[in-house]
Structure 1
Amino acid sequence: MIILQAQQVARFFGAETLFSGVNLEVQDQGRVGLVGVNGSGKSTLLKIIAGIDPPDEGQVVKNKGLTIGYLAQNSGLDSHNTIIAEMTAVFAALQAMERQLRQLELDLAQHPTDQELLNQYDQLQNRFKLENGYGYEAEIKTVLQGFQFPAETYQKPISSLSGGERSRLALAKILLQRPNLLILDEPTNHLDIETLNWLENYLQSYRGALLIVSHDQYFLDHVTKEIFALEHHSLTHYHGNYSAYLQQRAQNFQTATKAYDQQQAEIKKLETFVEKNITRASTTKRAQARRKQLEKMVRLDKPVDSNQSLHFHFDLTKETGKEVLFVRDLAIGYEDRVMSSPINFAVIKHQRVAIIGPNGVGKSTLVKTLLQQIPALAGSFKFGANVQIGYYDQDQRQLDPQLTVLETIWQEHPLLPEQEIRTVLGSFLFSGDDVQKVVHQLSGGEKARLLLTKLAMEKRNVLLMDEPTNHLDIQSKEVLEQALANFAGTLIFVSHDRYLINSLADRIVDLTPTGSQVYEGNYDFYLEKRQPEIAAVTTTTEISDNQAQFIADKAQQREVRKLERAVSNAEALMNERHQQAEALQQQMAQPAIQADFVKLGDLQKELDQIQAAETAAENDWLLATEALEQGPATN
């Protein structure tokens, strides 16, 4: 059932069109993602759909009685209440009902046979139970704990909290309100990985509909089931999650490009015929017919791939040694507080190492310690030979706010011609008068692109990056991901962007207050290894059919990966033993060995053991292959 429709909606700014002809619908329990480049109008469209701003054209039609919860980007809770008082206020109606029940109980104590009182109490109690009157306090605690507010923080005044904490509380409050349609604009801002995982699980079992704008591709993949893309002033609908959208968009672009190229070839053919034959008496009528055909033809616009607008790569001028970094028993923090200890990990050449952990554990502090911007409290670290570090600072303090974009690059490369610098800046979307903008006038996304420009031009062989995807839109993130994937050096990066971690990392360093844990794989591998631990500490109030299916699917995927690894390992062992057996047989065939019966006997024993191991590996391979073909067992 459709609960909301945007019909032919438009927004104009003077003579400029932000978007027009927008049609969007949300189904009951729909899971809708809205994506587009920065400035395309996503937040503006959400405000129109939420009823905050009217459209310039078109209308938004809602079901009668539809309740909408809207959370603006970076909006924080503004209240003089304590945390627990503000969250409890959401359930004021239930609290009033509870007081009414207590009063009825007192009345019944005095008049136990009053049928009217008994009926009133029974009806109110059933309603109280249906609306979760006996469970709302537990629900508040579950949500607050999910957003990293433990019981000892409940009495804190909200006015004393940081901006990030108030943003998390605003999201917690709107979840507790449980509207029929939840509209969230960048809800993953200010959330660490642990909280993101909790929020995903919560939203997967949410009973209402979701409409979400997010730059977090991993989040969109796990929460949404359809995508609306705001591109080129119009809205296009795609079925499936974000990854499915990327595939469909690429296919659509190829189809549109092929159609455009075919039409251009047809146009050229017709124009050539007209040009050659219009003046000939014998062919002029046919040429005139072709010209009319050209005039009536509906010309296709040349397809534009928004991903191609930003394009860059990271080069290096010098190779490092094999060993890039050793960290041993490192303690990080400040004089009055140790944030994490002991930290142990190593980085070798060409690795992509992701550093993750909860907010406040010291991920950025670790980076600054490695850069010797702040001293280590204990332990040691050492970089290898020929290491040249290129640093990306999430706080963007490497930029002088008084310089222009052009001056920022030119002062570090004074011998380069201005046109060459402008060309480089153009590949990072700084063109024309943009290069004369002063840094303090730039948006967060523009500053991020300028930092990436600086980093790309340094040509360092080790990139040390602190939250490189902050401030970037999804398309820019994709280009950055590709540039880092193609980087020939070593990458060490702090990130809460699970999509980036999953795509790039081959080693994860998980920081906690009590030290570090290293996982040899990407983010999915990390989750798989952490799953037993997560299951042991996770408390849920209710699991829907959808969430249960999601959990079952994840378990099945893990089992498939386990079987695939078993097949691969057994196959590798078979090949290794086979090669060893062949090498031994060649050795045994040598005349000198043939004449030495003792040596020949020893080699035969070794050959028998290797061939037995090869047979065992082959049996393991057959069993694993058969199990994989049959599919993992499901309960």
Structure 2
Amino acid sequence: MILLQANQIARQFGADTLFENIHLEISSRARIGLVGRNGAGKSTLLKILAGIEAPDKGTIAKNKNITLGYLAQDTGLDSDKTVWEEMLEAFSDVRQTEKRMHELEVKISQISPEDENYEAVLKQYDQLQEEFIEKNGYGYENEMRAVLNGFQFDESFYDKAIQTLSGGQKTRLALAKMLLQSPDILILDEPTNHLDIETLSWLEGYLQNYRGALLIVSHDRYFLDKVVTEIYEISRSKMRHYKGNYSRYLDLKSQQLASEWKAYEKQQAEINKLEDFVAKNIVRASTTKRAQSRRKQLDKMERIERPQGKEKSAHFLFQITKASGNIVFQLEDGAIGYDQSIVSEPVNLDIKRQDAIALVGPNGIGKSTLLKSMIGEIPFIKGEKRYGTNVSIGYYDQGQAELNQNKTILQELWDEHPATPEVDIRRMLGSFLFSGDDVDKPISLLSGGEKARVALAKLAMDQKNFLVLDEPTNHLDIDNKEVLENALIDYEGTLFFVSHDRYFINRLATKVVELSENGSRLYLGDYDYYLEKKEEEEQLAEYEREQNETSQEKKTTTNKQNFVQSKEQQKQIRSLQRKVSQIEEELNTADEKISQLKEEMTLPENLDDHVKLTELDQSLQSTQKQQDDLMEQWEHLSLQLEELETKTS
């Protein structure tokens, strides 16, 4: 079912057209990625689709019964509530239903089943309960906890006032609340900004299972590959649609471009052939009619436009003036942090020439701190660092703090390389898409993407052999990320970089260093290899936990069995002891009876009484047999008792 449809949408700024003739459909359970260069109009289009802005042309048709949620990039919650109170707002409808149910429960308890309204109240309660269950009324608090935990907010944050949180935390909370509201169409503009890899992985899994439709703008290619199933691309004011994830889109786009070139070249060959015929035959009387026919054919032909291929991208290389020695940087048992407060130790690094090492770990664990300690901006709290011979360091700061906000673009580079001719500086800036009057723009007026390109241009000018990069792909669109990747792949020096861009890590890294509070850990491979090894480690740890639990369970079971067995044995012993005692009493009675019978048989009055004597003799024999049977039982039970007492002793 189509939830939203955009037809012939256009946005213009004066005489300039940002985009036009845009057609886009969002169906139930859609997973759409919107891609395009910075400035192509992606965010503007999202605002139009969300109803925040009106299009200059075209229409938006939306199903009236659906809900739509839109979250702009870097939007943070502005609230005077606590984290928990604000998240509860996402379930206001459910909580209202719950309140009404409680009211009806009280009412039901107060009226008699004979009351004429009783059945109506019960029916109303049943309807509310069905609605409550459908909206996850009995599990919404657990859902809140799961989402907050996914965004790295544990229970210690629940009672904190949102006003006291950092900007990044407020941004994550805004996204968390939007997910909990669960609109039928969820529109997200750069939701992966400022998320660490662990949170990104959680968000991917959550969105894959999201019950509504998704429309997402993102420069995170790994994220797009995991989440979306169709791509809309804005390029040169036009929109194109591709089925599949981001990698499939690249393949289809390449195939499409090749097909367009083939069709264009075929038509150009046909046009050249017809024009040549017309030129040679139009003035000859014998062939002029055929030439005129060919001319009409040319006039009626619908010309295929020359395929434009890729839009203009930066194109640059990172060169080095002198190679370093084989050993570039070493750190033994390092500790990093601020003001003697350690956030991670022990950190051990052994960086060799032409290594390309990615540093990964959760936000706040000290990745940027480690880079700044390596370049000497912040001292190591512990440990000894050593640089190899001829090592020259180039550093890229994710916040572009190295840029002078009071200078122009041209001054920023030329002041650091005053001996370089202006034409060479301009040529370098041109390769980073700064040409003409662009180079006279003040740094302070540049966008995040433009500042990133200036910082990279400075890095390229320096020609260092060891690049230490902190989030170099931040603010870059996908095309310029690919240019940066290709430049770094061809770089002959050494790389040590922090990045949350897993696609970028996969293309560059030959090793991955994971940073945690317990220090550093080295993995010899790219990001996918790192994930595989982490999964193996988790599986092994889980197996060991299961083994320990099984062992403990067996031990507990054995102890329990031993206890039960001991209790049973004690019970048997007591039972045998009672039986033995009883038999002993019966034996005593038999002994007394035998003695009495023998005594009676010797009495004079019984010796002369044959009948009486026979009766006494029979009774004696019977008692003696009983005595023998009792003795046999006593011996058997005594042996059992002795064995049990030996086992339990």
Fold shared per TM-score above 0.5: yes
The answer on whether the counterparts of 1:307 and 1:479 sit within 8 Å (CA) in structure 2 is: no
For residues 495 and 130 of structure 2, the distance between their equivalents in structure 1, rounded to whole angstroms, comes to 59
Deviation at 1:258, TM superposition (A): 2.8
The answer for the alignment partner of 2:603 in structure 1 is: none
User: Which moves more between the two structures, 81-90 or 399-408?
Assistant: 399-408
The answer for the alignment partner of 2:381 in structure 1 is: 377
The answer for the alignment partner of 2:261 in structure 1 is: 257
The answer on whether the counterparts of 1:307 and 1:476 sit within 8 Å (CA) in structure 2 is: no
For residues 305 and 457 of structure 1, the distance between their equivalents in structure 2, rounded to whole angstroms, comes to 29
> Aligned pair 1:27/2:13, yes or no?
no
Q: Which amino acid aligns with 1:53?
A: E
- SS of 1:460's equivalent in the other structure is coil
Deviation at 1:352, TM superposition (A): 1.2
- SS of 2:307's equivalent in the other structure is coil
Q: Which amino acid aligns with 2:507?
A: S
For residues 436 and 277 of structure 2, the distance between their equivalents in structure 1, rounded to whole angstroms, comes to 41
For residues 233 and 22 of structure 2, the distance between their equivalents in structure 1, rounded to whole angstroms, comes to 11
The answer for the alignment partner of 2:97 in structure 1 is: 97
> Aligned pair 1:429/2:412, yes or no?
no
For residues 408 and 15 of structure 2, the distance between their equivalents in structure 1, rounded to whole angstroms, comes to 30
- Quick one: structure 1 residues 240 and 161, their matched pair in 2 at CA, closer, same or farther if it must change by over 3 Å? same
Q: Deviations for 1:391-430, whole angstroms, at most 9, x for unmatched residues? A: 1111112211222212222223333332332222112111
The answer for the alignment partner of 1:400 in structure 2 is: 404
The answer for the alignment partner of 1:415 in structure 2 is: 419
User: Which moves more between the two structures, 352-361 or 312-321?
Assistant: 312-321
The answer for the alignment partner of 2:372 in structure 1 is: 368
- Quick one: structure 1 residues 435 and 373, their matched pair in 2 at CA, closer, same or farther if it must change by over 3 Å? same
The answer for the alignment partner of 1:61 in structure 2 is: 61
Deviation at 1:73, TM superposition (A): 1.3
What 5-or-longer segments of structure 2 have no aligned partner?
Answer: 543-649
The answer for the alignment partner of 1:471 in structure 2 is: 475
The answer on whether the counterparts of 2:358 and 2:498 sit within 8 Å (CA) in structure 1 is: yes
For residues 221 and 10 of structure 1, the distance between their equivalents in structure 2, rounded to whole angstroms, comes to 28
Q: How do 1:178-217 residues align onto structure 2 when only pairs under 5 Å count?
A: 178-217=182-221
The answer for the alignment partner of 1:481 in structure 2 is: 485
RMSD: 2.2
Deviation at 1:8, TM superposition (A): 1.0
Q: Which residue of 151, 154, 161 maps to 1:150?
A: 154
- Quick one: structure 1 residues 270 and 118, their matched pair in 2 at CA, closer, same or farther if it must change by over 3 Å? closer
- SS of 1:51's equivalent in the other structure is coil
Q: Which amino acid aligns with 1:67?
A: T
Q: Deviations for 1:414-460, whole angstroms, at most 9, x for unmatched residues? A: 33332332222112111111111111111110111111111122222
Deviation at 1:284, TM superposition (A): 5.1
The answer on whether the counterparts of 1:344 and 1:516 sit within 8 Å (CA) in structure 2 is: yes
The answer for the alignment partner of 1:220 in structure 2 is: 224
The answer on whether the counterparts of 2:20 and 2:238 sit within 8 Å (CA) in structure 1 is: yes
- SS of 2:497's equivalent in the other structure is strand
For residues 430 and 287 of structure 2, the distance between their equivalents in structure 1, rounded to whole angstroms, comes to 49
- Quick one: structure 1 residues 234 and 537, their matched pair in 2 at CA, closer, same or farther if it must change by over 3 Å? farther
Q: Deviations for 1:580-608, whole angstroms, at most 9, x for unmatched residues? A: xxxxxxxxxxxxxxxxxxxxxxxxxxxxx
- SS of 2:385's equivalent in the other structure is strand
Deviation at 1:23, TM superposition (A): 0.7
The answer on whether the counterparts of 2:8 and 2:23 sit within 8 Å (CA) in structure 1 is: yes
Q: How do 1:131-170 residues align onto structure 2 when only pairs under 5 Å count?
A: 131-170=135-174
Deviation at 1:302, TM superposition (A): 2.5
Deviation at 1:505, TM superposition (A): 1.1
For residues 421 and 475 of structure 2, the distance between their equivalents in structure 1, rounded to whole angstroms, comes to 30
For residues 494 and 504 of structure 2, the distance between their equivalents in structure 1, rounded to whole angstroms, comes to 16
The answer on whether the counterparts of 2:313 and 2:479 sit within 8 Å (CA) in structure 1 is: no
Deviation at 1:532, TM superposition (A): 5.7
For residues 162 and 119 of structure 1, the distance between their equivalents in structure 2, rounded to whole angstroms, comes to 48
Deviation at 1:31, TM superposition (A): 0.4
The answer on whether the counterparts of 2:34 and 2:42 sit within 8 Å (CA) in structure 1 is: yes
For residues 424 and 285 of structure 2, the distance between their equivalents in structure 1, rounded to whole angstroms, comes to 55
Q: Which amino acid aligns with 1:210?
A: L
The answer on whether the counterparts of 2:35 and 2:233 sit within 8 Å (CA) in structure 1 is: yes
TM-score (norm 1): 0.81
The answer for the alignment partner of 1:121 in structure 2 is: 125
The answer on whether the counterparts of 1:332 and 1:340 sit within 8 Å (CA) in structure 2 is: yes
The answer for the alignment partner of 2:180 in structure 1 is: 176
What 5-or-longer segments of structure 1 have no aligned partner?
Answer: 539-635
Q: Which amino acid aligns with 1:490?
A: T
Q: Which amino acid aligns with 1:50?
A: A
> Aligned pair 1:351/2:359, yes or no?
no
Q: Which amino acid aligns with 1:26?
A: I
The answer on whether the counterparts of 2:513 and 2:520 sit within 8 Å (CA) in structure 1 is: yes
The answer on whether the counterparts of 1:320 and 1:386 sit within 8 Å (CA) in structure 2 is: yes
> Aligned pair 1:247/2:251, yes or no?
yes
For residues 16 and 366 of structure 1, the distance between their equivalents in structure 2, rounded to whole angstroms, comes to 47
The answer for the alignment partner of 1:18 in structure 2 is: 18
User: Which moves more between the two structures, 92-101 or 247-256?
Assistant: 92-101
TM-score (norm 2): 0.79
> Aligned pair 1:87/2:87, yes or no?
yes
For residues 238 and 387 of structure 1, the distance between their equivalents in structure 2, rounded to whole angstroms, comes to 47
Deviation at 1:225, TM superposition (A): 0.3
